[in-house]
Amino acid sequence: MLNVAKSLAALLLERADDMLTSSATEWAAMADVPKATGARLFRSLGYADYNDERLQAREERILAPRCQAHAEPRQA
């Protein structure tokens, strides 16, 4: 992975909660990389595009509380 893609990837990990509200263009601007770099990064991660990744992030956020509720130990 090129350094510019690494800087975008690091920013995405650091600010994962912003994935639901920020556009691909905004992410590219925040990481100071070309929009094409973002497109290539998401494709290299197996997504069709940024919106595909954002949809998965949204679904995971919706499901997370349900999964956590089932994982908590029961008290006697």
Task: Give Cβ neighbours of residue 20 (< 8 Å, ≥ 6 apart).
Answer: 54, 57, 58, 61
pTM over 0.85: no
Q: Look up the domain containing 37 and give its range.
A: 3-71
Structure tokens at 21: 């509200």
57-68 average pLDDT score: 73
Which CATH number do you get for residue 20? 1.10.10.10
76 domain-assigned: no
In angstroms, the CA 30 to CA 58 distance is 21
3-state secondary structure of 56: helix
18 domain-assigned: yes
Q: Where are the beta strands (DSSP E) in the chain?
A: none
The structural domain count of the chain equals 1
37-59 average pLDDT score: 90
